[in-house]
A and B are shown apart, each in its own frame.
Chain A
C-alpha cells in the first residue's frame, strides 16, 4: 500500500467507528448515508472542532451531546429557502392542485423539512388556491432542533427579499409581504399559515409509516443516502402513499435508478413529480 491508500483505509475505519458509536449511543443511524458527502461533512466537522483526527471527533461526539448536535446539523445539510425551485411550485399548482380538489380532506407529508421554509411555502400556495382548510401537512425531520425552529415560523428578515422574488416566480397570486410581519431582524409568518401544520421528528432510516398520504414531498433528502437506503425509503413512501397519490422529489433526483420506477408515472418529468399507479 502507498502511504495515501494506507491513510485512506485508516480514515474509512475511523468513519466506520464514528458511525457505529453514534448509532449505538444516540440511536441515529448514518451508516446508509452516501459516502462522498458524508466523508466531506465529517472532515469539515473535524476541522471546525479544531481536531486532528476523526477518532478525536468520535471521542468528543460520544461525550458531548452538543458536539453531536453540531455534527448532526452538518450531516443532514439543512440548506433550504422559501419557494426553492420556483418551477416546482408552478407545476404543483397547475398539475397537482386540481386533482387534490377532488378530495374532501388531504394529508400531505413533507419528509426532511429542515427549518420549514418549504413547508410554509406550500401552506401559502394552498391558501391562495383556497385548499389549505382541507389540508393537514405533516412536516418531519430527523433533527429535533430544526423542527423546533421550523415550528416558530420565524425567519431572518434579510431573506425576505429573495423569497419575495421566488414567490413571484413560483406564481404567487397575492402580495408576499402580507404573509409576514417584521419584528426587528425577523420576519414572523402569519399564524393562519400554521393552523394545519403538524411538526414532528421522524427518522426516515429507522421510523415506520405513520399515516396514509395524498402527497409526499421529499426533496433533496435522499441524495444523501446510498442506493440501498434510498430503496428502503422509497418502499416506505410507496406504502405510505394512497393510490394515485403524488410523490415530489428534488430537481436532480430520479426514479430511474430505483426498483420503484414502474410503480409511478411522471406527472412532470422535469420537476420530478410522480403519481403512484401501482
Chain B
C-alpha cells in the first residue's frame, strides 16, 4: 500500500493528543498531513502556533487553493470546512456538520473521493460522532483507518463511534499509533509512485 495523504480528526482532548502524536511522527514526514481539530468561532492562529511549537513539522492554517504539501501539517481553519480536491485545498462556509465547522466527516469524505486507497486516516479523542461517517467512506473507497484506542483517549466517544462505523479498524494507544503510522509511511527516498495495479489493492 502506498499512501498519498494522512488525514486526522480530533475534538475535545485533541490538542494534547495531537501534540503527542505529531511529535512522535518522523520528520520530514513523507506525506502531507491534514488535520481537523474542532474549535470555536472566530479563532486566531493560536492552535497552529501551539502545535508547531511542540512538533518537528511545520503547521499552518490552510488558505483557499493552498497546494497539498508533503511534510506539512495542514490545519482546517476555524469556521471553515476543509476539503481536498484536484486543485489543492478547498474551503467552504457551508453549514456545520455534527455542530462542527470544520467537520471531520467533510474532510474525510472528500479525501476518500479524491485519493481512494491512498488515504491513511486517524480518529483521535473527542466527544462527538463527527468523523465516523467519513471514516466509513474512506474504508469503502479502499483507504485505511486507524483509531485511538477509546479507553486510552481523553474522550472516548469519537473513537468509539468510528470503531462502531468501521469495526475492522485498528485501535491503538497514541505511542503505538505513531509507530504504526511511521511503519506504514516509509520515507520518500524509498517510496515508489503507486502503480495502477497497487492502487487496486483493497
Contact = CB atoms under 8 A, between A and B. Distances in A.
Contacts of B114: 36
A227 interface: yes
A37 B92 contact: yes
Interface string B74-95: 0001011101111100111111
Interface stretch (A2-10, A150-158, A259-267): A2-10
A50 interface: no
Contact of B85 (A2, A8, A35, A79): A35
Given A2-B142, A36-B114, A77-B93, A254 B42 contact: no
B80 A224 contact: no
Given A4-B141, A86-B42, A35 B86 contact: yes
B42 to A, nearest CB: 6
B84 A36 contact: yes
Contacts of B84: 36
B200 interface: yes
B65 A252 contact: no
A79 B64 contact: no
A84 to B, nearest CB: 8
A256 B62 CA distance: 13
A136 B29 CA distance: 52
A80 to B, nearest CB: 8
Given A4-B116, A35-B86, A227 B63 contact: no
Interface size class of B (residues with CB under 8 A): 20 to 34
B4 interface: no
A130 to B, nearest CB: 28
B110 A252 contact: no
Given A4-B141, A79-B94, A223-B91, A40 B63 contact: no
A34 to B, nearest CB: 5
Contact of A36 (B42, B62, B110, B140): B110
Interface in A24-52: 34-37, 39-41
A133 interface: no
A257 interface: yes
Interface in A226-278: 226-227, 230, 250-254, 256-257
A227 B67 CA distance: 12
A202 to B, nearest CB: 20
B164 to A, nearest CB: 21
Interface in A51-90: 77, 79, 85-87
A31 to B, nearest CB: 14
28 contacts: A2-B142, A4-B141, A4-B142, A5-B116, A34-B90, A35-B85, A35-B86, A35-B87, A36-B85, A36-B110, A37-B81, A37-B83, A37-B92, A37-B94, A40-B106, A40-B110, A41-B94, A77-B92, A223-B90, A224-B92, A250-B64, A252-B62, A253-B63, A254-B63, A254-B65, A257-B65, A257-B66, A257-B67
In the A-B complex, list the 4 residue pairs whose CB atoms are closest, starting with the nearest. A36-B83, A36-B85, A254-B63, A37-B92
